[in-house]
Chain A
């Protein structure tokens, strides 16, 4: 469903703050994946790279067969082979194995902006064949934020129907009907004409989840959905998420709720220092952690 390939993300004017250092993962359809890890380990950045709210510095993000990022030459052997750098290195040491040269180019980041026509043509071919418009791709992926981010200038119902109507995915009537049936399901139908400022945190977050659902997404990304909530409201949001999980919604959840991870996740990714340091079933991760960083982390949070 989503594959993230070898993502690097640097921040800062010169890219000196390296947050992601080669993180990869595959999300299968219908799977619930929970990402845990210490603060500053890159969990949120990693999640935000999946729908390109952060643009990865290197690496590729795929949604099914659509490439969302520009193609990364380092991920395509044939592209590296077509580069001038490769040609030069091969000419200097004709005895070296191809794979060896490619590995060196990748490790030392030797590709430059001037790699010749064959190289550029190959990259452009990949791009024209697989690259999808990011807005179209995003409309297939829902996102739920830590701070809800409901549109403050719109009522609940307007929040829910804005995107499907603007993007001409549904007519206004269809969108409203769909939004209302979802609102009824979460018991907030009477709030349809309220502004977000009148809702409690838990209500806001549930409306935000519904806003994603109205789009009928193939996957929903949750970025610490309960971290900004008062403790007594965490339950109602988690319950809704559990319901979605039971219905088979594909979900990627960054959270500090270890209980939720244990109960709901098919797979848990432990992220630390910008890489996926360990991954496995909740049982593996919580009862038999291998990585010392993970052991340390679990000691602190459990």
Chain B
């Protein structure tokens, strides 16, 4: 049990758990706020794409959204992180806390995925719902807000949960821009003791527990929203 003893000594007696807590906090912050920003950006992008293309401005917006989604979905998360942290932000003279920076970048990235999820959700709502709203004299906006979006959101909760889980796990690459997250916290324990078994097993277990918690939360939300369904 020497490997366990080494890990225990490093974690508790040499207070590596403090680093772990910081890592846990950062991982949680980046995942949660990243998703929130992603939701806002995603809804905006989906709106740009779904608006009836009646004039040039909306067509232009929809093109911009297309390009945005293509770029953010078409390049790896790590590459975006590196590019923005080491090239774009320095060139623009922006110098902010790395955690906030990570939140922003993950949010922008997630937005591209969320927008496709939302678009799919909106398109999955029967066109008859829109027609019934419009036939009563409601505006496009009122019909969207009161009828289509509530149903779309309900339809996409499982997929959004999926996106949140993916985002949570993908935060493990933020150490590339010197943010202490879970992965980095455990890796440094291993690096300083040269015993990797328990740090990495614990790392995996921590992610697994977080994901299980999120899964439970999503199920709860889903059950609440399904009140109007027979299924």
Contact = CB atoms under 8 A, between A and B. Distances in A.
Interface in B125-149: 126, 128-129, 131-139, 142, 146-147
Given A152-B228, A197-B228, A198-B230, A145 B128 contact: yes
B75 to A, nearest CB: 34
Interface stretch (A58-66, A106-114, A131-139, A250-258): A131-139
A138 B137 contact: yes
Task: With a 10 A CB-CB cut-off, give which of B134, B150, B228 has the most chain A CB atoms.
Answer: B228
B129 A215 contact: no
B13 interface: no
Contact of B135 (A51, A153, A198): A51
A120 interface: no
Interface string A147-184: 10111111100000011001100000000000000000
Contacts of B135: 51, 53, 138, 141-143, 145
Contacts of B142: 166
A138 B228 contact: no
A138 B151 contact: no
A211 interface: yes
B224 to A, nearest CB: 13
B229 A135 contact: no
B169 interface: no
A286 interface: no
Nearest to A195: B228
B151 A152 contact: yes
A167 to B, nearest CB: 6
Interface in B61-77: none
Contacts of A149: 126, 128-129, 131-132
A138 B147 contact: no
Interface string A265-299: 00000000000000000000000000000000000
Nearest to A214: B136
Given A149-B129, A149-B131, A197-B229, A135 B154 contact: no
B136 A153 contact: no
A254 to B, nearest CB: 14
B146 A166 contact: yes
A53 B228 contact: no
Contacts of A150: 132
A75 to B, nearest CB: 24
B227 interface: yes
Interface string B112-129: 000000000000001011
Contact of B129 (A51, A137, A151, A197): A151
Interface string A38-65: 0000000000000101000000000000
Interface in B96-126: 126
B228 A135 contact: no
Contacts of B128: 145, 147, 149
Contacts of B228: 152-155, 195-197
Contacts of B138: 135, 162-163, 166-167
A195 B129 contact: no
A53 B150 contact: no
Interface string B146-168: 11001100100000000000000
Nearest to B135: A143
A215 B137 CA distance: 10
Interface string A198-228: 1000000000100110010000000000000
Nearest to B147: A151
A53 B131 contact: yes
B146 A162 contact: yes
Given A138-B137, A139-B137, A167-B137, A153 B132 contact: no
A224 to B, nearest CB: 13
A207 B230 CA distance: 19
A135 B137 contact: yes
Contacts of B150: 153
Contacts of B154: 153
A229 to B, nearest CB: 15
Contacts of A167: 136-138
A166 B147 CA distance: 12
B171 to A, nearest CB: 33
27 contacts: A51-B135, A53-B134, A135-B137, A138-B136, A139-B136, A143-B136, A145-B132, A145-B135, A147-B128, A149-B128, A150-B132, A151-B129, A151-B147, A152-B151, A154-B228, A155-B228, A163-B133, A163-B137, A163-B138, A166-B142, A167-B136, A167-B137, A196-B228, A197-B229, A208-B132, A212-B136, A215-B137
Given A143-B132, A197-B230, 8 more contacts: A51-B135, A53-B135, A143-B135, A145-B135, A149-B128, A152-B151, A152-B228, A197-B229
Q: Which 5 A-B pairs have the closest CB atoms?
A: A139-B137, A149-B132, A163-B136, A143-B135, A149-B128
